[in-house]
Amino acid sequence: MQFIAENLEDSTEKLSGMLAAEKARPQHAIDRYFYRSHLVYERELKHLIFRSWIYACHTSELPEINDFMLFDIGEESIIITRDSAGEICAFHNICRHRGARVCEKETGNRKTFVCPYHGWVYNTDGTLKAAREMHMRADFDPDEHSLIPIKTSVFMGLVFLNCDPKANDFSKLLENLREPLGAYDLEKAKVAHKHTYRIATNWKLVLENYLECYHCATSHRAYAKGHTLKDIYEKVEPVVRQMLENTEEITGIKGMGKAYERIYLDAEEFGACVYTSRYGLYDGYKTGSEDGKPVAPLMGSIKDYDGGTGDFQMGPLSFMLNYPDHCVLYRFIPRSLTSTDMELVWFVNEDACEGKDYDKEKLTWLWHHTSLEDEYIINRNSEGLNSRFFKPGPYHPEFEATLQKFVNWYLHTLESTLKL
């Protein structure tokens, strides 16, 4: 059953009252209002989503000069290109004349983008090349009518975007991940597979599900067999401690077990979360696969399996789970008030050959299977939460600790919009 989120009696005054109610009830799930309000959703896009760093693509997906791809957030379309100088650029897919989209094809290679309406022509670096007969306006300056640029930052082959023109270079903050993330040599990795799961719920429900593992033991039996994150830390501490003590020697990577956390309200800059830790796998599990056995060649400069997996966060909506033989990236993108794109990207070494070095079905099985389970439980969560009789309950202090950090940041950001 699908639900239409609606809030017919809404205003900034109501939002203010709802935020005050959340302050009076800390460490609890938030009211259904925040998942159903169109006013809230528009403020989320403007003040949160479009001010945050978001993973867009991998450089290997734009290998040639003038390659391009589209990326949608909400109702917005973004063009990502490798321009004639070989640089990664991004622009809003909006003609500077009267707003028509200048690119429709999802991916390809072209030297220019031509508006289908009045024929304005743009170079792949976004500059205006030609505007038919606009010489008749003496005040017309082509340099003032380039495609609207979007901030880009490339780190280890990962391309991030931020629609806030005031955003600083994200790669400087991501340097805090260099030792553990560098082990996988992502610049030389390739996308083995990617899949977008369109989930018919509010984006926060999808993200919130990822940010906690309270549900892992009951909802993800295959995942839970191999990953210690499904248990409270006091139960798995010996396993994790032993893995961390041995990880540098086994993998050959200095700093492989490094932990670093600056996320949400503690992030160095708005929308620039940076996090890493390494957690353990249970005995008999070397990687994230159906049976725990390797599914691809070891990545980067990693020498052997240490019984661990790297956990990374880059921005509020982008995450990676990195096993010694492959990496899985998660990205959450709101498409409407009641629709979310959850994209998964699987990476392997650039030299790994499908059918010889890895089987795509075995490579993707665990997280495809887990994502389908997530879709099911998120939809059930949405159906119950949308009930007028729903009363938010308390968060778990350990399993839902990161989720609480997100919610606190989210509510704080919404509250700040009331002062604008």
Does residue 289 contact residue 348 with C-beta atoms inside 8 Å? no
Give the orientation angle of helix 401-417 with respect to helix 12-23, to 10 degrees.
Answer: 140
Same fold, 64-150 and 172-413: no
| pTM of structure | 0.96
Average pLDDT over residues 222-230: 97
pLDDT value, residue 419: 86
pLDDT value, residue 44: 98
371 φ/ψ angles, rounded to the nearest 5 degrees: -65, -35
Q: Identify which of 47, 322, 306 has the alpha carbon closest to the alpha carbon of residue 158.
A: 322
pLDDT tens-digit map of 186-222: 999 999 999 999 999 999 999 999 999 999 999 999 9
d(CA 182, CA 184): 5
- Which amino acid is residue 296, in one-letter code? A
Does residue 220 contact residue 377 with C-beta atoms inside 8 Å? no
pLDDT value, residue 398: 97
Strand order in the sheet with 121-123: 112-114, 121-123, 128-130
pLDDT value, residue 420: 78
- Which amino acid is residue 332, in one-letter code? F
pLDDT value, residue 251: 98
d(CA 134, CA 3): 49
Percent of the chain topping pLDDT 70:
98
For the chain, give me the number of helices (H) and strands (E)? 11, 17
Per-domain residue ranges for the chain?
A: 64-150, 172-413
pLDDT tens-digit map of 9-31: 799 999 999 999 999 999 999 99
Does residue 132 contact residue 27 with C-beta atoms inside 8 Å? no
pLDDT at 4 over 80: no
pLDDT at 2 over 70: no
Does residue 67 contact residue 82 with C-beta atoms inside 8 Å? yes
Burial of residue 343 (CB within 10 Å: 0-12, 13-18, 19+) is middle
Q: Where are the alpha helices (DSSP H) in 175-231?
A: 178-182, 203-210, 216-219, 221-226
DSSP-derived secondary structure for 30-41: PPTHHHH-HHHH
Q: Is 134 helix (H, G, I), strand (E, B) or coil?
A: helix
Query: Which CATH architecture fits 64-150?
Result: 3-layer Sandwich (2.102)
Assigned CATH topology for domain 172-413: Naphthalene 1,2-dioxygenase Alpha Subunit; Chain A, domain 1 (3.90.380)
Reported for 363-369, long-range contacts at CB under 8 A and 24+ positions apart, including other chains, are 363/192, 363/193, 363/289, 363/295, 363/296, 363/326, 364/192, 364/193, 364/195, 365/289, 365/290, 366/222, 366/223, 366/288, 366/289, 366/290, 367/288, 367/321, 367/328, 368/195, 368/344, 369/222, 369/290
Confidence of residue 8 (pLDDT cuts 50, 70, 90): low
pLDDT value, residue 9: 78
pLDDT value, residue 138: 95
Does residue 342 contact residue 208 with C-beta atoms inside 8 Å? no
Residue 180's CB: how many other CB atoms inside 10 A? 25
Averaged pLDDT of the chain: 96
From first CA to last CA, the distance across the chain in angstroms is: 38
401 φ/ψ angles, rounded to the nearest 5 degrees: -65, -45
Backbone CA torsion sign across 386, 391, 392, 393: negative
Does residue 71 contact residue 290 with C-beta atoms inside 8 Å? no
pLDDT tens-digit map of 93-117: 999 999 999 999 999 999 999 999 9
pLDDT at 340 over 60: yes
pLDDT at 42 over 80: yes
